[in-house]
Amino acid sequence: DDLRGKFREIATTVVAQHARRHDREASAPTEMMSALHAAGLLNLCVHKDVGGDGISFVTGHDPLPFLIGIEELARIDMGSAHDFQVHGHSSMFLSHACNAEQRERYLRPVVEQGQVLSWTGSELGRTARGQWALQSEAVKRPGGYVLNGVKVYGTNASIADWNIVSVNSDQGPSPDNFLMVMIPAGAKGFEVDAAWWDPTGMRSAISPKLV
């Protein structure tokens, strides 16, 4: 009840106050993300090792508080609830996939600084090509990879501190060449086209094109 009350308070004050403007502008609810961080709710799905609550569909650790949060935010603005949902699922994925050192790098700042995460797999035409047939690619070079491609529906991408993107590498056949890559905000050669997102609804769930 206390957790539901915290989400409802943020929804009825912060989200409600700014929802109309974000819908008009198709802009991200950064005020909501800041309020969730201040209330300790942005880290619900972050691994316990770095100070989160460890909620996860992957491990089966009681996902109900996460679902309650989505429900309460969506009562006021479904787009804002979707932004929270994407951040939460990104946190779950990293909590499960990362080693201890990577959790410190990517997830500790979510808890301590309120950093926001985005995870984008979508590409135009991907459904017709199949789950693993990505056009975005990672080409092996000395010291790492060079990434080339275009992703769409990158929810939170314009405000995210880290963008997780899925690509196919040139190392082996599909699906063994499937990679998830962490791209920091402002990385050289990484562009977020926020103007691409201009729907008729869910406009605060800003989901740009990534190049």
Q: Is the pLDDT of residue 11 over 90?
A: yes
Average pLDDT over residues 85-101: 96
**Calpha distance 182→122 (Å, rounded):** 16
Q: What is the DSSP letter of 52?
A: S
Among the residue ranges 36-50, 70-84, 169-183, the one predicted with the least confidence is 169-183
Give pLDDT, residue 131. 78
Residue type, 101: E
Per-residue pLDDT band for 211 (boundaries 50, 70, 90) equals very high
Beta 162-169 vs 137-141: how paired, if at all? parallel
Is 172 exposed, middle or buried (CB count within 10 Å of its CB: 0-12, 13-18, 19+)?
exposed
Q: What is the pLDDT of residues 53-66, one digit of tens each?
A: 999 988 878 899 99
Average pLDDT over residues 23-39: 97
Per-residue pLDDT band for 125 (boundaries 50, 70, 90) equals confident
Q: Is the pLDDT of residue 1 over 80?
A: no
Per-residue pLDDT band for 177 (boundaries 50, 70, 90) equals very high
Q: Is the pLDDT of residue 132 over 90?
A: no
Give pLDDT, residue 167. 95
Q: What is the pLDDT of residues 146-167, one digit of tens each?
A: 999 999 999 999 999 999 999 9
